[in-house]
Amino acid sequence: MRIRFRAVTLVLAGLFLGFDSTQAPPPQLVVGPHHGTTIRLPEDKGFVELTNEPEVTDRRASAATSIVAYYLQPDCKSAMEPPPAGVNFVIEAGRKGSQTIPLSAEPKSDDPAGAGRFASKPGPYVLSGLRGRLNAKIGGQEISTTFVGGR
């Protein structure tokens, strides 16, 4: 009986002491127009959406795919203006070191966000298995975004 009383008391105390109505709600999940992994850039500069093209359907297959980054305005729908420069993805491989993959501007005219599209050359770059940093120069400022797995 004493154990139950203590457990209930601790649970109730945790509920009342841990609740603070002034806390901000957790950030909403943002889905980019290409359904990739979308990351908010610092200082409200917008978003970057990472995806593989062509999409990887079987993670066990070794088909070549490109790392594609779409740089988006804060509305997360249209391309960033002006587009960033010097875009690259640094794959971190632990003890094996790192590998820098350059991403070149490859706009798509039939896509509203296509002007902000940057792609790597095809390779074994399945995003779900990658860990690294996406780097770009936005408005003259170097921006680095950490990436750990994704679509």
What is the total count of domains within the chain?
1
Block residue for tokens 């609740």: 19
Average pLDDT over residues 112-136: 93
CA 76/CA 70 separation, integer angstroms = 10
Domain assignment present for residue 107? The answer is yes
Q: Is the pLDDT of residue 1 over 90?
A: no
Answering whether pTM is above 0.75, one says yes
pLDDT digits (tens, 9 = 90+) for 57-92: 776 667 899 999 999 999 999 999 999 999 999 999
- Looking at residue 84, which CATH number applies to its domain? 2.60.40
Domain assignment present for residue 91? The answer is yes
Nearest to 45 by CA among 16, 17, 19, 83: 83
Domain assignment present for residue 61? The answer is yes
* Confidence at 15, pLDDT banded by 50, 70, 90: very low
Domain assignment present for residue 3? The answer is no
Domain assignment present for residue 116? The answer is yes
Domain assignment present for residue 7? The answer is no
Q: Find the domain containing 71 and state its range.
A: 30-148
Using alpha carbons, list the distances in angstroms from residue 11 to 15, 48, 50, 98.
6, 41, 41, 46
Domain assignment present for residue 50? The answer is yes
Domain assignment present for residue 84? The answer is yes
